[in-house]
């Protein structure tokens, strides 16, 4: 039997949803696409996760893509659960959510992100990236001007190389990077101009 990929239209749930069944790998490529106007707002997991893209047990490749204007209760642009997609030249901008407007990685999800721009996303907490027991790799990445903060790590050890984290702000969580039981590895990373409230959170 063929593998199934679900693509939704008319602002319903996710724009693209890779369920656990397909088990996609890097041979599944989405190149030159724009993913927009997803609206994951009803029910529980996974219906209210990942307005733009929901990956569960699947790790496809995204290249030269734009993910914009998506909304979700949790994770506006991309939700990765036991998933490690590859992203090359992907622009993630102006997505919104209650929790994490950009990329939410959970359950040992370790996406590889090269030449990725994550900017102008907005959430109450976790504006750009939230990692929970996950360790993504970011190379030549820019994380800027996100409301809800830059990167929030819980039990995670992401790797950042030659990247910029700037101009991110938060009222409930991190400004640049927030770490709880986490040890990110930073090589040639510029972190500047980020801000957060003083409610027990550490701004880096």
Q: Where are the domains of the chain?
A: 6-195
**What is the C-alpha to C-alpha distance for residues 101 and 124, in angstroms, rounded to an integer?**
9
Residue 133: per-residue pLDDT: 97
Residue 20: per-residue pLDDT: 64
pTM for the whole structure: 0.86
Strand partners, 97: 72, 123
**What is the C-alpha to C-alpha distance for residues 97 and 121, in angstroms, rounded to an integer?**
9
Contact (CB, 8 A) for 8 and 54: no
Phi, psi (deg, nearest 5) at residue 152: -115, 115
pLDDT by position in tens, the chain (length 204): 344 333 444 455 666 766 665 667 778 898 999 998 887 765 555 555 667 888 889 899 999 999 999 988 777 889 999 999 999 999 999 999 888 889 999 999 999 999 999 999 999 878 899 999 999 999 999 999 999 999 999 999 999 999 999 999 987 656 899 899 999 999 999 999 998 875 434 445
Residue 119: per-residue pLDDT: 97
Residue 163: per-residue pLDDT: 98
Judge: domain 6-195, CATH 2.160.20.10.
yes
Tokens of 52: 């733009």
Residue 42: per-residue pLDDT: 59
């Amino acid at each position: 039997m063929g593998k199934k990929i679900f693509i939704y239209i008319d602002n319903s749930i996710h724009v693209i949803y890779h369920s656990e069944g397909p088990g996609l790998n890097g041979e599944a490529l989405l190149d030159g696409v724009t993913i927009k106007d997803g609206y994951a707002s009803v029910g529980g997991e996974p219906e209210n996760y990942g307005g733009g893209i929901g990956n569960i047990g699947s790790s496809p490749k995204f290249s030269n893509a734009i993910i914009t204007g998506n909304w979700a209760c949790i994770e506006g642009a991309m939700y990765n659960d036991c998933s490690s997609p590859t992203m090359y030249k992907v622009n993630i901008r102006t997505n919104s959510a209650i929790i994490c407007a950009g990329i939410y990685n959970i359950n040992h999800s370790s996406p590889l992100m090269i030449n990725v721009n994550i900017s102008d996303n907005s959430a109450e907490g976790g504006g750009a990236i939230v990692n929970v027991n996950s360790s993504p790799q970011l190379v030549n990445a820019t994380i800027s001007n996100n409301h809800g903060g830059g990167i929030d790590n819980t039990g995670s050890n992401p790797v950042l190389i030659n990247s910029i984290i700037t101009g991110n702000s938060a009222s409930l969580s991190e400004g640049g990077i927030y770490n709880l039981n986490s040890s990110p590895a930073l090589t040639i990373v510029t972190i500047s101009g980020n801000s957060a409230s003083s409610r027990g959170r550490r701004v880096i």
